[in-house]
Structure 1
Amino acid sequence: MITDSYGFYVGTSSIVDENTHEPILSILTLIVETVAKLHRDGHNVVLVSSGAVGVGLRRMDVNERPTNLPRIQALAAVGQCRLMSLWDGLFSHLRLPVAQILLTRNDIADTTQYVNAQNTFSQLFEMGVVPIVNENDTLAVSEIKFGDNDTLSAITAAMVKADYLFLMTDVDCLYTANPRTNPDAKPIEVVDDISSIEADVSSAGSSLGTGGMSTKIVAAKLGTSAGVTTIITKSSKPGNVHEIVTYLQRLEQDSQGTTVPTDGSALLSPPLHTRFLRSDHPIQSRSFWLLHGLNPHGTIYIDQGAYSALLNKASLLPAGVVDVDGHFAQQEAVRLVVVQKLSPDSLNGDFLHHGQEPRVVGSALVNYGSHEIACIKGHRSTQIHSILGYADSEYVAFHENISFFPGDDSPPR
């Protein structure tokens, strides 16, 4: 019986030597053993693995990561074959089949493709297969990249409705300061409000990887907002994951009133890690897709009245639109920004009555393009036809196509 689903993210610096670019087989093997043990215990596991470019550097005897995009993409194409061969070979020793899934943001930008991806993951789990996910670096450009694989791992964890996401990194946990330079740095073991973090996240990652601790925080925000408990732990000790899982299971049993083992094992502390607690009000699948699966093509500025109405499940009327920025078409995603009443100079920062600064509150799929919305903004829906010569909808965006970021779930005071 499946009890939990787990997502693992391992970055390039965790599995590829920074100097020689050789795969770190000892860590790869431990990761495979950990995933296999969880799988044998009846859990679904998805592995998000970086490393294609790093492995490609070794395969082609290139000393340093190039800056030329086509060359990076070519190395990624070479390295991805080798990387999957490594994973497949190691998992095959434990008779555990794997599947390769390469994604770009475009692959989940369409709701049908997003659902198809979810269905593929579900079918792979039913077949007892471990999906191994990476960004499709061969095709990805800045406009369709996830930014880094920390973000991709959080989106993947949300797609498969994982209970836990483990971000494997080169430190045990998050600290109040950089432990390498500050001996007084204290570990942060549990974070229940990620917005209140005052930790040192200045680490910029390795020369091979693209992330650092700051990208782990971003991933944790995404994961916890989707209901995924997100954990930072040391990549060189993958076996810690099983101990942490055992500890968390005992915590849950204890909270439910289950009898604590008489040997006192439930009281043992787990290996050092940072656990970001999942949101009590997680974003649903479609809302998460609207917020994080789509790249915004522009911005719609709305007033406070429209914002309050939207939070009460209303659709967006043109009368509530203050201004438009960017060029986008019908049914494309846009940012929603709340502003106070503006001066006639519009978005030049001259707010009347000392109003608050603009605030990004969510995303929406629009029923009209940027030019049309610029024409009908501030007008009544009954005037749309006379202004445009047609009226596809009385709304700029339907309420089911609007989603807000966590914290923006109640009307402003």
Structure 2
Amino acid sequence: MNGKAWVLTGILAVFALGYLLGQYPPVRFWDVVFWAGVVFLLSLMDVPLPFVGRVTMGFVGALAASTILWPNWAFVVGALGYFAPRPVWYKELFNRLQLGVSAGTASFVYYSLPSPLTAPFTALAYFLVNTLSVLFLLWTLGMNPRSMWKRQYRSFAIAYVGLSPLAFLMAELYRSWGGWSVLVMLISMVYAWQMWRYQTRLIQAVNAMIYSLVNLLEARDPYTARHSERVAAIAVDIGREMGLPPEDLDLLERAAKLHDIGKVGIPDAVLRKTSHLSPEEWHLMRSHPVMGEVLLWPLFPYLGQVGPGVRYHHERWDGRGYPEGLAGHDIPLLARIIAVADAYEAMTSDRPYRRGKSPEEALKEIQDLAGVQFDRDVVRAFERAWRKDPPWRRKERFLTVA
């Protein structure tokens, strides 16, 4: 960890000492042992996050313990109950501190507020300390907190809201019926965990399917190696320069990777032809955007609305493109971005019948076509991205780095 991360760890340690050294009424030792065991069992039920790390069901037990125990012992249960699969020591230190402080803060809020407000604010306190401390740590490591929240932790927030009431139910059962009632309730927690894992695996399966489809297409033509990946990298950088939110960047990336998928329906004799195409062959080749949308249509519930980006990426700003001859802002923005990215990738790639242009030549041509073939705003964003010298600027470097 860097210096800022250690500062954050130090702040958490100060809160931890505050809870541990605070003056609170005594609690039954059995309560501490029992809830530490519940947190341990629930923390075995982990769910991988999309980009980095994992979350566990342990937060349900820690939140329940926060309403049973005073802040000092809630901290102990949250910190020591967590199961860590042999992490690096400083990562384990940070994880245990932030989980313990989350539980201690939730307990402090629970015992400080009047009864009607305790449940929602206790849950909110745990969630905020837990999530914000991790996001702050990721910021110290050079990641964008806003982007990480939207792409990684927002889905966790939905699960947290749905599962938090179970924590308060567990606590009430424990007060009324004892520990056995909580252990029986853990069965429902196993079901919730499996459903959460199923959702995560479904997302992973969709991403794997995208890569498989792209690899299937590019395996048919060695001259388009990594074409779709490079187009996606260019498109995402353009979208970022245009200020697109993370969810739109994700959709843009998927659409760019799949923009040529309709070519799987084009015969090799046409797709790999090195001489000029006949009018009939050219008509067949121009059908691939519509064919791609049709092929992907059953997957839209999982991929998102990638269809417009796939269908319209060969439309032109002046209305002379295909398949529908759309013009100007009638062309969906994602398609306008992919059009520029696709053109640059094609210009700077070697083909059997020509050598690729230099990056400078390709940039100049795209600039000349702004307002004719391409959206001027997209071209300006492309210029800004190009001048930052990203790996995709030269294909040889992209193939080496990617």
Q: What is the TM-score of this pair, normalised by structure 2?
A: 0.26
Greater length-normalized contact order (CA 8 Å, ≥ 6 residues apart): 1
**Greater fraction helix:** 2
TM-score (norm 1): 0.26
Q: Name the one with the larger strand percent.
A: 1
